[in-house]
Structure 1
Amino acid sequence: MVLFAEVVATSGEVAATRSRKAKVAALAGLLARLDRAEIRFATAFLAGELPGGRAGVGWSTLSTATVSPSEQAALTVSEVDESIDRLREISGSGSAQRRTDALTALLGAATEDEQRFLVRLLGGELRQGALEGVMLEAIATAAGVRSEVVRRAFMLSGRLALTSEAALTGGEEALAGFRLELGRPLRPMLASPADSLDQALDDLGDASVEYKLDGARIQVHRDGDEVHVWTRTLREITEHVGELVDLVRGLPCRSVVLDGETLALSDAGRPRPFQETMGRFGAQSPRDLLLQPYFFDCLHLDGLDLLDEPLHKRLDALDTVAAPHRIPGMLEPSPDQASTLLDEALDNGHEGVMVKSLDSVYAAGRRGRTWRKVKPAHTLDLVVLAAEWGHGRRTGSLSNLHLAARDPDGGPPIMVGKTFKGLTDELLAWQTEEFPRHATRSDDWAVYLHPEIVVEIELDGVQTSTRYDGGVALRFARVLRYRPDKDAANADTLDAVRALLPKR
């Protein structure tokens, strides 16, 4: 039996070091001591997650919950999980007071360090997708299994705690038991940026080149007449995209898993603004703006899993089932043909092209080198840490953004710059209304946020700088748009920012 205090202490030890090796060692040491019944809960807590989802406790309740801490650590991991479950189940008349009473009881049984951890855990402040990679290494170390086997199981299960339990109780045999399951989303495969189209073609050899659409990533599963649609962050949006469900239900197959993009088009066939596409995912009137799907991968077809097949075979399967809805592209184009395709994509209002090795297998959740994205402008997806109150005509609005990149070693996001450029009146109004809902604190100067909002930044480049913790600073950064389809785990890493430094 492991005390909750040990989880808290390990989390603090991980946060206190920048060494990835030290983080893995600390996490693996605790994981190896867990009883079977504690594995899922402790793994989730260490990753800053709540098993079962949100507990129904708002930040205002947490910030006003004051109770004297316990003198001695006595809470177990299982007791904390049970208490959070009870919080989650409270509903009905008088639920606000009963929830406050239950929260007070939990905090009263916790030490001062445990209280701080619980408030941050329940408030979502500990959620760090960046820690997933470190956690996966720690699970492999604690279980004595290969890290690639753990990563594949996580790709297929989509759940860190479940993967941890399988590894620590059944080793590689249990991990190998995970299969692609219709109705359970896979983590999407990601691409790395390329400096140029020629470089990407040279690096990958036999390749597919296709449009990089200015749309929203979707993953679609069909099993008979049952269809599910998920976003990049694995949020299900099936009920909001009826036209996509109807289209997939009409494909010539019994079962299929497709990866692709969707976007809304204007009457002229050009992509509508990205925010309009994203707005459909929560629309109350789903038929107000129709979405068009463009698929670029097929991961399962009629009982056959294709994850480990090379891309060229997956594309053959895609043509079999959804050729009319395939993303525009070419197989093995010449450099001139690829350049023409890039120009066409840009002329049609899209972002650029994707270059993919025809021999690549589907490696979900990782930015591999076998898929490369080519865009004419430098852009980064960064996390908003804070926003300063504006001056002059922006008085009363939240303006200047503090921007951070994801720590590749699992720490909190690392600041790399600020910008107030590119903010329209509409975006200023949205920020001023939305950011306080994500605040950890505020003062007369700024509002400081949970690291969860992602913004796409266009920039002219990067330079070395001692002003920010990352040792780099953005040059002429400007806001393009917010990315509600991404969370902090999908933000660009500090390594990606440093890769934009001028080559010596």
Structure 2
Amino acid sequence: MEYSILADVYEKLESISSKLEKTHILADLFSKTPSEDLPKVALLAVGRVFPVYSEYELGIATQMMMKAISKATGFSLNDVEKKFKKTGDLGLTTEDCIKSRKQVILFKKKLTVNTVFENLQKLAYITGVGSQDRKLNLIAELLVSAKPKEARYVVRTILQELRVGVAEGIIRDAIVEAFLYKEGMSKEEKNEMAAAVEYAWNILSDFGEIAKIAKERGVEGLRKVQIQLGKPIQVMLGEKAESIEEIIKEFGKVAVEYKYDGMRAQIQKKGDKIWIYTRRLEDVTKQFADLVEFCKKGIKAKECIVEGEVLGINPETGFPLPFQMLSQRIHRKYDIQKMIKEIPVQIHLFDVLYLEGKPLFDKPFKERRRILESIIKPIPKKFEPAKQLITDDLKEAETFYQEALNAKQEGVFLKVLDSSYVFGRHVGGWYKIKPIMETLDLVIVGATWGVGSRAKWLSSYVLACRDSNTGKFLPCGMMGTGLTEEQFQLMTDTLKELIIDEKGREARIRPKIVVEVAYQEIQKSPNYESGLALRFPRLIRIREDKGPEEADTIERVYELFKSQGRAG
């Protein structure tokens, strides 16, 4: 399949905001795509060449991309930088450079989906001495063969900035429409088809594989999808609740569990092989070699999937460290043994989802907890079940909640005893209680270099919420407080790699870093694209466990604005 077909589809998707229209366009594309290309096209549709759980990253910075554009088109690096400052989009910059290319290319091969996909994967595989030059040459080779429009989307895909407003939900619906819907189907039947794709997504987390199954084996093939140890499954998320009292009134006796200030971990075991995944399904097994050893000693089952919360521990005091300290280990690629000594961990297990070949999602929570306790051998202060109280007594529950806060944890979860494990958020069954006012998870899309003693840091950050229809990020405030000097340095080191362009002291940032912020109130404001502004936002923590697609939506921000009584 020629890549130009996909580029045309990208352009259509970019020009419209309707989710339904985007779904129709992608369904038409999927239905016409040959089986051998379908998994690749389904991944490329969301700007990926690896499933979400893959440890591989393309890791191409803006500066390297500009050098590749220069090499492929004959424009000087300075010329490319000037064009980039005008467009603010390296995809459009490349398109413009190729339209007026200074080098004459006599023999150009047509780009195919397979060529683009495989070469982009190669970028992630190239390591070692001379790897930067080899990556640059590989990108330049692709751009030499690309037509202007193709180049726009190749570059955006490499930089993970596709900008066509397609997320997982649209891909799911497009797969259903392309391969499962039949004329005359009732609404109930259509919902069943969508549920089958959703189930397969929850188990496989790979729309490339799911699209192929849907095309070749239909709805029954999707329903028969089984857990494959070594591939993470989607997780269940809790809802926010106003009070302990309202949950006990509604459900009676519940399990009250500590909500630990740590990293959620999905642990898979098959014999002596252990995999550890984050809430975002990132493979962090190598980074947590100490936890792997705890699992080998503490899990009695041969095959299972368990979940827990990992805490960083101060080796001198034995007390938990803030999540921000633990987060240093999550993306660490070197000095891992040193970090294990500096920030040792412990885990508190709270669920079991799979045991000896059988999924346990449909079993009630109280039964899953009983099974969990039967298959683990606790290692004191290293590998233990989450602290839990089962009660319908409000005073007991509130005392337990206060104990959690005194232990420097975030709060508590209230879990309905007969609830099954349901993938995704806002599904009921788990309710979280936290003491502080409602916080927001927002994406950093801009930053300003400081002055005086802060001149070496990016020290003010433009925060943005997400438009759930278009996928755009809408600015809603500036934050410059709540960070230590160490955090300013860490944030600067991280954001420097994500700078798209700079004007004076201001930098535009690729939307990747999610931060949890508190604020005094939300106000209407014509100064921000969202129409709203956070007053005095302050950093609570960097959300290493969340991607930009999980940031709070403009609808959520407006909902909180209205709840202040300021909707007028």
TM-score (norm 1): 0.90
Contact 1:156 1:180 in 2 (8 A): yes
Cα 1:421–1:86, aligned 2, differ >3 Å: closer, same or farther? Answer: closer
Name the residue aligned to 1:320.
Answer: 374
In the alignment, does 2:356 pair up with 1:302? yes
Name the residue aligned to 1:117.
Answer: 153
1:350 CA drift (Å): 0.8
Cα 1:475–1:204, aligned 2, differ >3 Å: closer, same or farther? Answer: farther
Q: How does 1:183-202 map to 2 (within 5 A)?
A: 183-202=230-249
- Alpha carbon RMSD of aligned pairs, Å? 2.8
Distance in 2 (CA, whole Å) between partners of 1:469 and 1:230 is 36
Cα 1:237–1:86, aligned 2, differ >3 Å: closer, same or farther? Answer: closer
Name the residue aligned to 1:30.
Answer: 29
Distance in 1 (CA, whole Å) between partners of 2:215 and 2:283 is 29
Distance in 2 (CA, whole Å) between partners of 1:274 and 1:129 is 32
Deviates more, 1:493-502 or 1:289-298: 493-502
In the alignment, does 2:178 pair up with 1:179? no
Cα 1:205–1:31, aligned 2, differ >3 Å: closer, same or farther? Answer: farther
Unaligned runs of 5+ in 1: none
Name the residue aligned to 1:154.
Answer: 201
| SS in structure 2 at match of 1:37 | coil
Contact 2:14 2:164 in 1 (8 A): no
Cα 1:295–1:490, aligned 2, differ >3 Å: closer, same or farther? Answer: farther
1:447 CA drift (Å): 1.8
Distance in 2 (CA, whole Å) between partners of 1:240 and 1:89 is 19
| SS in structure 1 at match of 2:218 | helix
Contact 1:210 1:355 in 2 (8 A): yes
1:261 CA drift (Å): 0.4
Name the residue aligned to 2:80.
Answer: none
Name the residue aligned to 1:166.
Answer: 213
Contact 1:130 1:489 in 2 (8 A): no
1:85 CA drift (Å): 4.6
Cα 1:410–1:60, aligned 2, differ >3 Å: closer, same or farther? Answer: same
Cα 1:426–1:466, aligned 2, differ >3 Å: closer, same or farther? Answer: same
In the alignment, does 2:539 pair up with 1:479? yes
1:31 CA drift (Å): 1.8
1:326 CA drift (Å): 1.5
Name the residue aligned to 1:242.
Answer: 289
Contact 1:130 1:409 in 2 (8 A): no
Contact 1:453 1:488 in 2 (8 A): yes
Distance in 1 (CA, whole Å) between partners of 2:420 and 2:310 is 23
Distance in 1 (CA, whole Å) between partners of 2:510 and 2:532 is 22
Name the residue aligned to 1:348.
Answer: 407
Cα 1:180–1:60, aligned 2, differ >3 Å: closer, same or farther? Answer: same
1:128 CA drift (Å): 9.4
Q: How does 1:380-399 map to 2 (within 5 A)?
A: 380-399=440-459
Cα 1:27–1:318, aligned 2, differ >3 Å: closer, same or farther? Answer: same
Contact 1:15 1:411 in 2 (8 A): no
| SS in structure 1 at match of 2:363 | coil
Name the residue aligned to 1:49.
Answer: 48
Cα 1:322–1:397, aligned 2, differ >3 Å: closer, same or farther? Answer: same
Encode CA deviations 1:164-220: one digit per residue, 9 max, x unaligned. Answer: 222233221221232122232212222222233334444555532211111111111
Which of residues 489, 497, 507 in structure 2 aligns to 1:437? 497
Encode CA deviations 1:418-450: one digit per residue, 9 max, x unaligned. Answer: 211212222222222321111222221322222
Counterpart AA for 1:234: L
Which of residues 198, 205, 219 in structure 1 aligns to 2:266? 219
Q: How does 1:378-417 map to 2 (within 5 A)?
A: 378-409=438-469, 411-417=471-477
Counterpart AA for 1:300: Y
Distance in 2 (CA, whole Å) between partners of 1:312 and 1:186 is 21
Cα 1:273–1:147, aligned 2, differ >3 Å: closer, same or farther? Answer: same
Cα 1:97–1:501, aligned 2, differ >3 Å: closer, same or farther? Answer: closer
1:396 CA drift (Å): 3.8
Distance in 2 (CA, whole Å) between partners of 1:243 and 1:97 is 36
Distance in 2 (CA, whole Å) between partners of 1:5 and 1:73 is 12
Counterpart AA for 2:329: R
| SS in structure 2 at match of 1:262 | strand
Cα 1:130–1:468, aligned 2, differ >3 Å: closer, same or farther? Answer: farther
Name the residue aligned to 1:255.
Answer: 303
Counterpart AA for 1:409: N
1:362 CA drift (Å): 2.0
Q: Which of structures 1 and 2 has the bigger CA Rg?
A: 2
Contact 1:130 1:406 in 2 (8 A): no
1:129 CA drift (Å): 10
Distance in 1 (CA, whole Å) between partners of 2:471 and 2:424 is 18
Which of residues 338, 355, 369 in structure 1 aligns to 2:428? 369
Contact 2:165 2:472 in 1 (8 A): no
Deviates more, 1:139-148 or 1:53-62: 53-62
Encode CA deviations 1:117-160: one digit per residue, 9 max, x unaligned. Answer: 11111122238998122222222222225222111111111212
Which of residues 348, 366, 390 in structure 2 aligns to 1:331? 390
Counterpart AA for 1:104: A
Cα 1:294–1:82, aligned 2, differ >3 Å: closer, same or farther? Answer: closer
Contact 1:384 1:453 in 2 (8 A): yes
1:298 CA drift (Å): 0.6
TM-score (norm 2): 0.81
Unaligned runs of 5+ in 2: 74-96, 101-107, 182-192, 379-383
Name the residue aligned to 1:500.
Answer: 560
Deviates more, 1:178-187 or 1:146-155: 178-187
| SS in structure 2 at match of 1:175 | helix
Contact 2:300 2:377 in 1 (8 A): no
Counterpart AA for 1:120: R
Cα 1:261–1:96, aligned 2, differ >3 Å: closer, same or farther? Answer: closer
Name the residue aligned to 1:228.
Answer: 275
